[in-house]
Amino acid sequence: MFYLQLRNELWKLFGKKRTYIGFFMFLFAQNVIALVFRFTQASRPMERMLEMSGHLAEPFISVLTIATIMLVPAAAFLLPLYVALVGGDLVAKEAEDGTLRMILSRPVSRFRLLVVKWVAGCIFSLLLVLALGVFGLAFSRLYFPWGGMFVWLPENGIFGVFEAQTGLVRYVAGHLMLVTEAASIMCLALLFSCFNVKPAAATILALSLIFVSFIMEHIPYFKDYQNWFFTYHLHLWQFMFADRIPWWRIGQSLSLLIGFNATFLAIGMASFHMRDIKS
């Protein structure tokens, strides 16, 4: 039964055109970024940085390096937008369209319904991150050769130079961790979607909270309190590109994200359970 209900939820989700906006935008954005890198001098500062650190630049101006550069802004700005859009729709859109009332005339518990929707949202998040990773590699490969990986993420003090093989492993691991960011933002939007609000309001509320957390995290005077900010823990995927992976930091953020997600789901569940569903 759970499998059938999950399958139904995925049919509903992937039957809608708006679900694919994220996939198309990644396709577009990554293609454009790769083109700009290929046909401009945009990679020159990177080459200088590599040479100053004693590396030959050419082997590192590669598929993996360009794909990782493209990943950073996409993960910071585009990914939260698309997962929040889908998470905000999951309950609120059904309530708005009236289909939620049709579902809840059936002997299915609200708890079960929400769990099914959450799992479907997580699957979407996984697929979107997968698309981000695959498109990144595919479009970079069109214009750049295979080779080593160079990553510079100054905010977290990450300066990584890897062989192609190790770089690919780090790239895959980074995306696996990025799924936690996508799923957490989706879960936050799902929480707001459980309230009696329009789908757009749920999405905007979730994104607003993300932005507020991001702003607070970046106020220099709040540096001592960074651990309290949701977005601080969302960046854990970046540590997969560190020379030495700080597993303690990843473990800490992962456990906190699990806590955040459980809290979002519990509040959403309580709100959804108490709500009167009317036409």
- Please give the residue ranges that form the binding site for other proteins (CB under 8 A): 1, 4-5, 8, 11-12, 15-17, 97-99, 101-109, 113, 274, 276-279
Distance CA 122, CA 276 (A): 26
Give helix 63-73 / helix 21-39 axis angle, nearest 10°.
130
Helices (H) and strands (E) in the chain, counts: 11, 2
Would strands 149-153 and 158-162 be described as parallel, antiparallel, or unpaired?
antiparallel
Distance CA 237, CA 143 (A): 26
Q: Work out the angle at residue 134's Cα, subtended by the Cα atoms of residues 128 and 139, and round it to the nearest 5 degrees.
A: 120
Nearer to other proteins, 223 or 278 (CB): 278
Nearer to other proteins, 108 or 212 (CB): 108
CB of 117 to other proteins, least distance (A): 12
CB of 196 to other proteins, least distance (A): 12
DSSP codes of every residue in 29-79: HHHHHHHHHHHSSTTHHHHHHHHHTT--SGGGSSHHHHHHHHHHHIIIIIH
Of 81, 86, 84, 88, the closest CA to residue 199 belongs to 88
Amino acid at 70: M
CB of 81 to other proteins, least distance (A): 22
Amino acid at 165: Q
CB of 12 to other proteins, least distance (A): 6
CB of 85 to other proteins, least distance (A): 17
Distance CA 278, CA 223 (A): 46
Kind and range of the H or E run holding 58:
none
Nearer to other proteins, 152 or 272 (CB): 272
CB of 26 to other proteins, least distance (A): 23
Nearer to other proteins, 4 or 52 (CB): 4
Residue ranges in 104-163 assigned as alpha helix (H): 110-143
Nearer to other proteins, 155 or 276 (CB): 276
Residues ≥6 apart with Cβ < 8 Å to 199: 88, 89, 92, 93, 96, 193
CB of 277 to other proteins, least distance (A): 4
Please report how many Cα atoms fall inside a 13 Å half-sphere around the Cα of residue 259, on the Cβ side.
10
Nearer to other proteins, 2 or 222 (CB): 2
CB of 34 to other proteins, least distance (A): 33
Nearer to other proteins, 123 or 169 (CB): 123
Distance CA 182, CA 209 (A): 15
Nearer to other proteins, 32 or 270 (CB): 270
